[in-house]
Amino acid sequence: MYITIPGGKRKLCKAVNLSATGVFIQTTNLGLRKGQHVELAFAINLGAITKLHRRTAVVAHVSRGGTGLMMEAYSSASAAAARAN
């Protein structure tokens, strides 16, 4: 998985846990903070077909082992749901 951080720097990282709503990636210190927006590019192998995906994500947390990211569409929906309650 490639992550493009603010400023345009691109880094290849290993996705440890990928779902429709988010991903945890193993990273060294990229200088990311909670709430920052990043761009992701990754391939999903579907047997005979491989699809390339590009998503915008928001940094949910940063830990010693990596960075948790929430896919942008889901972070916007979560914020809207929280405002409605």
Each residue's pLDDT tens digit in the chain (85 positions)?
Answer: 999 988 889 999 999 988 889 999 998 788 899 999 999 999 888 899 999 989 999 999 998 889 999 998 754 545 555 455 5
d(Cα 11, Cα 41) in Å, to the nearest integer?
10
Backbone angles phi, psi at 74, to 5 degrees: -80, -35
- Counting Cα atoms < 13 Å in the Cβ hemisphere of 85 gives 6
In order of their start, the domains of the chain are 2-84 (2.40.10.220)
Spatial contact of 22 and 57, defined as CB atoms under 8 Å apart: yes
Specify the pLDDT at position 10. 93
Number of other CB atoms surrounding residue 22 within 10 Å:
17
Residue written as token pair 């200088």: 31
